[in-house]
A and B are shown apart, each in its own frame.
Chain A
């Protein structure tokens, strides 16, 4: 019996687990439970994270204050030494820029005329981005950790910031607001692992998805719809992407406005494409948080009385409607707005000869109108 008791003791029955170890195990279990419940990231617990961000933002502002003040002081101090050379450099740059401005104005004018000739819709670059009501904010915290790439800016709900607004700096797109507190907001940066944004080459128009890679430059996935389209329909477009080409947001998906500068495409040794982010040319200090209202899908704004396809407002359907002859049978219901005939070389000449109003095809016969006060000239 005595032998039996001693073997039990040797097996660990008499050993006490240290309090630190026991507490450590309990805390690990609690921490894993927090991860499992996504504490701080769900709508129910987000308020805790936002409150923490508020406090951290305030502390960050205080902590970085002396560093920022020191930077400005030394810039001013050492900037005076070479001011004459700097002025000469800026004057030369200014002369060069004036030449570029003249060229840009000429090209813009020519572009306007081409667009008018082609009846192109208004420029959709930046459509939905409310630049006039953008909110300037200073960066006060940078996650800087190994997993996440987020920033905390010192503008929040009280300043009008909402989730989904986009953040840009003077060089380009920084990211998107994913969480908003009273006085601060958290911006998911483009190089975060969870960041996937649709982009395109500015001149080649190659569509791609920009995938964040944290410590490395974001990767350009040139076949973003490969799973949905296994035939690789984009392979011809992918080949036309050029080294050094500007990459802009394409606006696909409706999360970002179209046409915001993202960076420059760079081909890697293994054949993959990465983007040198424009926003990271300089340390990010100030950001502009821009309200963005995505473009409504056509179903949301469609006229319920319209009948597809001729009732659709797309340019193809409009052209088709205007060039088709009216059916000789019973008239269709009147559309909400009267369609004006297209002004083309073919239909302008006879219209000038006889300016009597003609009933539109596909329209119900108009009610008897009063005769014109003056006869047609």
Chain B
């Protein structure tokens, strides 16, 4: 185990990659690069970051502030109103903290289940807030599709955001 730990990439490097993915998932859909880079099918990598940082007990101000900034940038690129994506990402962070405690077993099913729960709650939040911000005509279906794609891919990118060890999680044994 100690050998594995010494070979594992630096935690801060992984976090940097996770943040880079989150930033790319906000910026890439805004560039006119074709339908392949639209959202969906591009995953909402900010949800990975929100859940991963919440589950890793990033209790400082950096995680929520970063999510708020990413949300506001996403709002700006999407044409507004400000606050919609920021609220979705921040609510995912808060829900992620609760679900990370409930699903704190150190196995993939538990971690994945926690993220699926977070994604489902974020769809509900998006449904309510999008109708408030964008009117009744708006549909949450495209967002739900993107969130489902994000949930399916989560096990592949999980090491970028969180470790399987429960030691750092809010409900984990220290």
Contacts and interface: CB of A to CB of B under 8 A. Distances in A.
B137 A194 contact: yes
Point out which of B97, B129, B133 has the most chain A C-beta atoms below 10 A from its C-beta.
B133
Interface residues of B, number: 58
Contacts of B133: 35, 38
B47 interface: no
B172 to A, nearest CB: 14
B161 interface: no
Contact of A148 (B63, B78, B145): B78
B30 A141 contact: yes
Nearest to B84: A35
A50 to B, nearest CB: 11
Given A21-B97, A283-B32, A39 B82 contact: yes
B31 A41 contact: no
A60 B42 CA distance: 18
A144 interface: yes
Interface string A1-24: 000000000000000001111011
Contacts of B80: 38-41, 49
Tell me the interface secondary structure of chain B in the complex: helix
Interface string B44-60: 00000000000001111
Given A19-B61, A28-B90, A33 B83 contact: yes
Contacts of B33: 64, 67, 142
B135 A142 contact: no
Interface size, A (range): 35 or more
Contacts of A67: 33
Contact of B143 (A19, A49, A147): A147
Point out which of A49, A64, A142 has the most chain B C-beta atoms below 10 A from its C-beta.
A142
B130 interface: yes
B121 interface: no
A63 interface: yes
Interface string B19-38: 00000000111111110011
A147 B32 contact: no
14 contacts: A20-B63, A27-B68, A31-B86, A35-B129, A45-B82, A52-B76, A141-B31, A141-B32, A143-B29, A144-B37, A145-B39, A145-B77, A147-B84, A186-B79
